[in-house]
């Protein structure tokens, strides 16, 4: 079972001179990544997702992608599961990345639905089935139509869960509790439903979800972990208190496209450099002020 607060960890960069276009030449900051991993585990995080959307996987080259996953596995040292983001809109590429992650010792793979090419439901089924058959590690589907342009329907998820024994969970970021309820109805009882939206963690837990793959946990890991733990212990009052405490901060870290605000917040808090690779860019001044206010109101700044 994949449960609790699982962080979609940022990829910290450091600047090395200038690029040909006059901007920063950003390289993966291994030392800082190791620090962030330890910070997460010390604060109750139950799993690490490297190379997800929040980790800017789309702008990592293959060598960097493998390096980030390998560093994460090495630093975690089996203290919590490492769920490597290895999805792609190319099935062959996704299989390659997933095999490498499995070989490096990843505990599972997070597979985003193919983006841009917008396959049919049959195409989605065949894509995920081919990946699942290529490795033995567990596969977690990642459904986020707002970024990929295609929704994995509950019936497709249920068929994959039935036909591929190592497809064991879905990170659901559709925003639809109705759809998530359908997934719980149709899939095997031991198939994990994981929230992909920080603001829906508590509602998803209430319909049978097991946890959250979180963005906001990059800055407040203890509170996100405690929310899930409180729910698991039946302390609904505490879970609700944390839910409402977190909501304004969650709203702030999604003022602009993820991971722009959360990485900016980490820079403001001195946790890591806020550098992003293009086409991700710095926040607008108006949204930056809103983010700063949310951090101050939370007691972080």
**Residues involved in catalysis:** 142, 171
| Distance in angstroms (rounded) separating the CA atoms of residues 250 and 231 | 19
Instruction: Take residue 271 and report the two structure tokens written for it.
Output: 């946790």
CA dihedral in degrees (164, 169, 171, 174; nearest 10)?
70
- Alpha-carbon distance of 258 to 105, in angstroms, equals 28
What value, to the nearest 5°, has the Cα angle with vertex 274 and ends 273 and 278?
Answer: 125
CA angle, 266 then 284 then 30, to 5°: 30
Other Cβ atoms within 10 Å of 276 Cβ, number: 22
> CA-CA distances (angstroms) from residue 115 to 69, 98, 125?
22, 17, 14
């Amino acid at each position: 079972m994949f449960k609790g607060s699982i962080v979609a960890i940022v990829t910290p960069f450091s600047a090395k001179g200038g690029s040909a276009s006059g901007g920063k030449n950003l390289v993966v900051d291994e030392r800082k990544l190791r620090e962030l991993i330890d910070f997460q585990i010390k604060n109750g995080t139950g799993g690490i997702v490297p190379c997800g959307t929040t980790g800017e996987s789309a702008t990592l080259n293959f060598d960097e992608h493998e390096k980030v996953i390998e560093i994460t596995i090495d630093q975690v040292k089996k203290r919590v599961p490492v769920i490597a983001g290895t999805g792609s809109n190319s099935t062959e590429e996704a299989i390659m990345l997933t095999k490498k992650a499995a070989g490096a010792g990843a505990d599972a793979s997070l597979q985003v639905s193919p983006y841009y090419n917008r396959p049919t439901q049959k195409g989605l089924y065949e894509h995920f089935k081919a990946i699942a058959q290529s490795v033995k590690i567990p596969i977690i589907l990642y459904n986020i139509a707002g970024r990929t342009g295609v929704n994995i329907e509950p019936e497709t998820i249920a068929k994959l869960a039935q036909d591929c024994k190592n497809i064991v969970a879905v990170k659901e970021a559709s925003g639809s509790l109705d759809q998530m309820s359908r997934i719980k109805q149709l899939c095997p009882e031991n198939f994990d439903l994981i929230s992909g939206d920080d603001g829906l963690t508590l509602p998803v837990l209430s319909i049978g979800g097991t946890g959250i793959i979180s963005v906001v946990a990059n800055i407040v890991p203890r509170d996100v972990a405690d929310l899930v733990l409180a729910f698991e212990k039946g302390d609904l009052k505490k879970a609700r208190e944390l839910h409402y405490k977190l909501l304004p901060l969650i709203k702030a870290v999604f003022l602009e496209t993820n991971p722009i605000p959360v990485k900016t917040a980490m820079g403001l808090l001195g946790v890591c450099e806020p550098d992003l690779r293009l086409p991700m860019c710095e926040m607008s001044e108006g949204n930056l002020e809103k983010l700063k206010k949310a951090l101050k109101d939370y007691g972080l700044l």
